[in-house]
Structure 1
Amino acid sequence: MSVRNIFVVGMDEHNRQRLEHLRGAENYRFHGVIEPAEVNDTEIFPIEDMLFRAEAQLKAFGEPIDAIVGYMDFPVSTMLPLLCKRIGTPSTSLESLLKCEHKYWSRLVQREVMADYIPRFTAFDPFDPQALQRIGEAGLYMPFFVKPIKSSGSRLGFRIESPEDFAHAVERLCDGIGTISEPFNYVLDHANLPDDVRSVDGGHCMAEEIIGGWQCTVEGYVFQGDVVPYGIVDSIRYPQVLSFFCYRYPSRLPAAIQAKMEELTRQIMTHIGYDNAAFNIEYFWDEVQDRIWLLEINTRVAQSHCDIFEKVDGVSHQQVTVNLALGQRPDMPHRQGAFKVAGKFFYRVFFTDAIVSQVPSAEEIETLQQAFPGTVIALQVEAGMRLSSLPEQDSYSYALAYLWMGANDDVTLEENYARLAEQLHFAFENIVG
């Protein structure tokens, strides 16, 4: 078999190593396009310029280009259909992608086929002084949740309990929404949008009925119209707050609930017309009401889940992304990994702000990784850094480190994390809050 040239948007060394362990990787040659620093750990996204430079690099490549892939959220996931179209490699259509990523359009499309599984919602302009009144006129009353039409992670998401909460949220939204709304609007300008969607651009926000319960993510793909869910990951939050504690795989949800989520997944992705690409859908199961809610659809594999799929199933689910981009049905193994369960843990502090004065040394990290086999520890801060400078954080805490761990049962996994976390030593100065 001839070597296949695969270009990866924003590829870093860690993910290059992951990709080179995929099935069939001996026949793949991975190339980076667009530097990782331009699309990760930054809040400046010059999409037009990045596309121009990427297109020039790709067209100057002297060999066939077999695939262009990405594994990150905005701006990578949103740029891919534009870049693939210019180069002529497989991708889902821009419109089908935006029916997932444009949160208002996505809710409109979901309502057409699964109205009983989504919350009440409305769009609003955060710069409109009458925004709160208009939300009420649309039939939404406090408490509700607000977030941008397009965001990344949990950034700029707020629970609104009072007019004061809304005023605070709107101030933050107006200050920060432009970093994503402007590049997102560039992408919207290239799409064929319905009039009621075009009028709600990236500078708008969503207000939604509060939903909750047991949160999880269904990872899946569509190949030639066939929607295939292949794994469900639980998303566990810290008590009483919105911040994530860990992602755990496989899910502990009841089998009947998992089956219903997979059925809903097939229904909505078929209706959207999404094809030949990976996705994941976040759901809640309200155990008290025995009700399933669809939270949102993402047009990529979850990078946070790569290591836990490898631990449990035997390979990172980037396997799905690469195979689809090559026009192949994914060759994803099942339960062939070294562990029966795995998790990604978020080691957090709940300060308003602080300066980091001490972090675990490289030697301490290596010792801990050796003490807990299979563990990967990725520090997100360094000494001298102000916590508020960390990008992609939620509105309530700061993640100091990510830890991927595996075990043979859930209890051992959680106990091992607790033991390890006690040995991670950070220090701070000028703590506020």
Structure 2
Amino acid sequence: MAKPSAAKRSRARKLVCIVGSDDFHQSMIGRVPEAKNWRLEQVLHRTDVQPSRGAFDFDALYAKARSIIDGFDRPPDAIIGHLDFPVTALVSLLCRHYGLTAASPEAVARCEHKFWMREIQRKVQPERTPKVRAVNPFAPDAIDKAPMPFPFWLKPVKGHSSMLGFRVREASEYGRALHACRQAIHRYGEPFNAFLAYLPENTRPPNGVDGNYAIAEELISEEQLFTIEGYVHKGKATAYAAIESRRTGKHMSSLSSYHYPAELPEKVVEAGREQVAEVLAQVGFDNGPFNVEFFHDPASGRLNLLEINPRLSKSHSPLFEMVDGCTHHKQAIQLALGRKPDKPARKGTSPMAAKFMVRSHEANGIVRRVPGQDDIERLRRLLPDIVVQMLVEEGQDLADLADQDSYSFELMDIFLGGGDAEFIADAHDRCRDSLAFLIQPMPRHRVR
């Protein structure tokens, strides 16, 4: 019996498009056991959707993505992404355009828009929703009076990686934060407005609060911060993993590490799932992945929902590969193909894994030395699972790094697996001592 041709085998595999990916993640997705049944195609590169500087044209990105997909020999079977806006928006519009399974653009917009999401949450969870006020940083009288009593957080309605997020304690800090927003909020505000223009007029944000607005939000921080990874399939929300996030730096607002699986009671994870299921039902979110951040107070059991991201977290991907044997792109692709996703298998090389974000908390600086490949290889002989992503290079002006939080610069990410928390902590200490940076301090370039 003749074997099927390569062309027929290719057509038999599902055509899965990954928007805004890179070689690191494409390779990881290709190692998913089920990937033998998929034809993985990259649509736009990470640098297209997250340029290092300047504005980007959302409409042009959407048109380019359609052009790339139309250039394939057949229509796609699934389209996913793992980055924040604009990828979440592009995926939702592309899936609508090609008639594929995905959360609607309207639901994605409601999740992505910080003020809109809180207004929806207030309808179903009034006692759990923090006070928020919309702030137009360009209004002539914006500086005259703080929108709520100090302290509070000021952040854009659309951003990511805590960019332009400021803890405001008094009037002078409020003025500096408003100035920073006026300088840079348009980087994502204008493309987000372009996305909103694709929505029907009766599904636009409330009170004309567009992408160039900020919000003032009362503080809701608790001792623990964790993330639930999950999905909604045919109206039912499922949580399949919890990851603990640890913080460092000024105001404890910079993320320092992720730990999977989180050491949390199952009842806490279930309570978080119930909260997000109620909000997502009100949002109208279905047939899409999510990751949701919560603050948790172990003493009282209080849970505060921080934000809903309508996507999987790419930062957690190597952790899933180490613990479960493959990245959780598997679940997102199964969902996009119309299937109920499998549970993570816990068949990886390590029972636990962590990601550490190496940061500089200087106001600014020039990178004069980065760890070399020889340094990393020496560590790999002791820590075979180690994965290192260098985010800066020698001569880099830290002020030129895009999409950083307001109080630090991210220099390097280290992923480690291990048998227990003590092993991972020891391994991290070894990495910290062996992988050194040299930063030459420079004058301040931004509000801190």
Q: What TM-score range do you get, normalising by the shorter chain?
A: over 0.9
1:144 paired residue number: 152
1:418 paired residue number: 429
Equivalent of 1:209 in 191, 195, 218? 218
Q: Output the CA distance in 1 between the equivalents of 2:427 and 2:31.
A: 26
SS of corresponding position for 2:416: strand
Give runs of aligned pairs for residues 261-300 of structure 1, distance below 5 A. 261-300=272-311
Q: Output the CA distance in 1 between the equivalents of 2:273 and 2:390.
A: 34
Aligned CA distance change for structure 1 residues 362 and 122 (closer, same or farther; 3 Å): same
Alpha carbons 1:41, 1:392 under 8 Å: kept:
no
Alpha carbons 1:101, 1:298 under 8 Å: kept:
yes
SS of corresponding position for 1:363: helix
* 1:343 matches 2:354: yes
Q: Output the CA distance in 2 between the equivalents of 1:23 and 1:108.
A: 41
Give runs of aligned pairs for residues 216-365 of structure 1, distance below 5 A. 216-238=226-248, 240-365=251-376
Alpha carbons 2:353, 2:415 under 8 Å: kept:
yes
SS of corresponding position for 2:240: strand
The 10-residue stretch of structure 1 (237-246 or 146-155) with the greater mean CA deviation from structure 2: 237-246
1:10 paired residue number: 20
* 1:391 matches 2:420: no
SS of corresponding position for 2:378: helix
Alpha carbons 2:153, 2:166 under 8 Å: kept:
yes
* 1:21 matches 2:31: yes
Q: 1:242, CA displacement in angstroms? A: 1.1
The one-letter amino acid of 1:92's match is A
Alpha carbons 1:55, 1:87 under 8 Å: kept:
no
1:158 paired residue number: 166
TM-score by length of 1: 0.95
Equivalent of 1:59 in 70, 75, 84? 70
Aligned-pair RMSD on alpha carbons?
A: 1.7
1:112 paired residue number: 123
The one-letter amino acid of 1:37's match is T
Aligned CA distance change for structure 1 residues 427 and 196 (closer, same or farther; 3 Å): closer
% of aligned pairs identical?
A: 33
**CA deviation profile, 1:237-278 (whole Å, cap 9, x unmatched):** 016531111011111233332221122122222222211110
Number of residue pairs aligned between Structure 1 and Structure 2: 430
SS of corresponding position for 2:33: coil
Equivalent of 2:186 in 178, 198, 211? 178
Q: Where do 5+ consecutive residues of structure 2 fail to align?
A: 1-8
Q: Where do 5+ consecutive residues of structure 1 fail to align?
A: none
Alpha carbons 1:311, 1:338 under 8 Å: kept:
yes
Aligned CA distance change for structure 1 residues 134 and 95 (closer, same or farther; 3 Å): farther
Give runs of aligned pairs for residues 84-99 of structure 1, distance below 5 A. 84-99=95-110
Aligned CA distance change for structure 1 residues 195 and 91 (closer, same or farther; 3 Å): closer
The 10-residue stretch of structure 1 (218-227 or 39-48) with the greater mean CA deviation from structure 2: 39-48
The 10-residue stretch of structure 1 (297-306 or 287-296) with the greater mean CA deviation from structure 2: 287-296
